[in-house]
Amino acid sequence: MKIAILGYGVVGSGAYEILNKNGYKVKKVLDIRPHDELGNVLTANYDDILNDSEIGVVAEAIGGLEPAHTFVVKALKAGKHVVSSNKHLICEYFDELHTLANENGVTLRFTSSVGGGIPWLYNLKRTAKCDEITKIMGIMNGTTNFILDAMITDKRDFDEVLNEAQALGYAEANPSADIDGLDVARKTAISSSLSFDTIVEEKEVSTFSLRNITKSDIEYIKERFNKTVRYMGFGIKNDDGTISSFVEPVLLPSSALEASVNKNFNMISLFGESVGRLSFYGQGAGKYPTGHALASDVADIVDGCRESAVRTKKYTVDNEKCERKYYIRANTLPASDLIDSYECVDSSYYIITNKMKVSAMHSLAKSILESDPRAFFAGVED
């Protein structure tokens, strides 16, 4: 079986090098830019790939929705297996792409779309074949972990570290997708969908921004509770058969494994009824790590591994059915029946709430932010 790669950017070129070096020959690369080193492997015409019956697997590393979506749909309809590193595409068209893969009897893999080089999604699906997943959670964004780690280790403030992350190329010029949670929300939606055999949409994942965290928050949380902060996505199966899915900064015990995940590394965990907790740690981004994850999915397919794409849509998302305590730092107090404890320091209230519904807290946060746009919110993990 021959291989085609769509897009010769950072991830596509990394996967190309890795596959060829390890005996998996790439027959065609689609890119509209010139790449002399590719010789006649390069094409700018997708039909050269679609109509090549030797090509059995198409690895999409273009990113974004179009033309990636059109190309992937055509590949699936042509009976070619598809691998993708594109979280935006997978999240937006999860149902359509799985249905098409199923109808055409081909395998759809997208390990490299979440967690960079970490074989997370692949292992999540493999584990779930023989287990009931009850919860997933993880540090899935290297930029925000780099920022938090630098703030905590060097006692620096958010904006200063963000500027450094941008200078180092870890953060985009417009950092919103990272620091406001869209990137983690997509990764959480995809992970939750696979975990619970359902379809979680990006907009169903309630999301707090990390943007308002301050040096004072970190110091207070450390001194008062001996806890640290990480920015994480969660998918939880509730007792009533619904699932909850959200992205929040979280207060973690200093002894938690995630508290030792430093720099731009990622760690994602699953909890299975039989297997217990399994955690996966590695580089969440980068040409060769993410290229390796894309290449490994391709290699599995070339080596004959096939996977079903059948979905049963068992669960609905309901963030009313999950409760936890929250940390709030704001310039006003919420209703007293919500408060477990608070202190006032330098005109700011540092509050721990009673257990609250995730949905109620995310609504409350929106209303607090209207009068106090610098307020900060975080979940509390035991």
Does 18 contact a copy of itself by CB under 8 A?
A: yes
| Binding of a copy of itself by 280 (CB under 8 A) | yes
- 196 forms part of the interface with a copy of itself (CB under 8 A): no
Out of 34, 36, 129, 173, which residue is the one contacting a copy of itself (CB under 8 A)?
A: 129
Judge whether 187 counts as a catalytic residue.
yes
- Spatial separation of the C-alpha atoms in residues 336 and 205, rounded to whole Å: 28
Looking from the CA of 264 toward its CB, the CA atoms found within 13 Å total 17
**Is residue 152 close enough to count as binding a copy of itself by CB under 8 A?**
no
C-beta of 16 vs 94, nearer to a copy of itself:
16
* Binders of a copy of itself in range 24-43 (CB under 8 A): 24
Minimum CB distance to a copy of itself smaller for 7 or for 14:
14
Inter-axis angle of helices 94-103 and 182-196, nearest 10: 40
- In angstroms, the CA 382 to CA 253 distance is 7
User: Cα–Cα distances in Å, from 167 out to 178, 212, 284?
Assistant: 15, 20, 19
Residue in 28, 187, 227, 237 annotated catalytic: 187
Angle at 15 between CA 281 and CA 47, to 5 degrees: 135
Interface residue with a copy of itself, options 10, 41, 256, 339 (CB under 8 A): 256
User: Least distance to a copy of itself from the beta carbon of 128, Å?
Assistant: 9
Site track for a copy of itself across 283-302, x = CB under 8 A: x--x-xx-xxx-xx--xx--
Among residues 40, 274, 312, 347, the one that binds a copy of itself under rule CB under 8 A: 274
Q: How far is CA 168 from CA 129, 143, 172, 181, in A?
A: 40, 10, 10, 20
Of the ranges 175-183, 278-286, 311-319, 331-339, which one interacts with a copy of itself (CB under 8 A)? 278-286
Q: Is residue 301 packed enough to be buried (19+ CB in 10 Å), middle (13-18) or exposed (0-12)?
A: buried
- Contact status: 113 vs a copy of itself (CB under 8 A): no
Residues 188 and 140 sit within 8 Å (Cβ to Cβ):
yes
The single residue listed with the structure tokens 């169903």 is 204
Q: How far apart are CA 173 and CA 166, in angstroms?
A: 7
Determine if 55 is a binding residue for a copy of itself (CB under 8 A): no
Contact segment (CB under 8 A) with a copy of itself among 48-56, 88-96, 119-127, 175-183 equals: 119-127
Residue pointed to by tokens 């925000």: 144
CB of residue 129 to a copy of itself, shortest distance in Å: 5
Give the alpha-carbon dihedral of 98, 102, 104, 108, to 10 degrees. 50
CB of 285 to a copy of itself, least distance (A): 11
22 contacts a copy of itself (rule: CB under 8 A): yes
Place of tokens 């292992």: 123
Which residue is listed with tokens 């999301």?
207
CA atoms within 13 A on the CB side of 106: 23
**Does the footprint of a copy of itself cover residue 119 (CB under 8 A)?**
yes
| Alpha-carbon span 233 to 248, nearest angstrom | 7
**By rule CB under 8 A, what count of residues binds a copy of itself?**
49
For a copy of itself, the closer of residues 151 and 295 by Cβ is: 295
Question: Is residue 1 involved in binding a copy of itself (CB under 8 A)?
Answer: no
Per the CB < 8 A criterion, the answer to whether 170 and 189 are in contact is no
Annotated catalytic sites, by residue?
187
What is the contact surface with a copy of itself in residues (CB under 8 A)? 14, 18-19, 22, 24, 117-119, 123, 126-127, 129-131, 255-257, 259-262, 269, 272-283, 286, 288-289, 291-293, 295-296, 299-300, 303-307
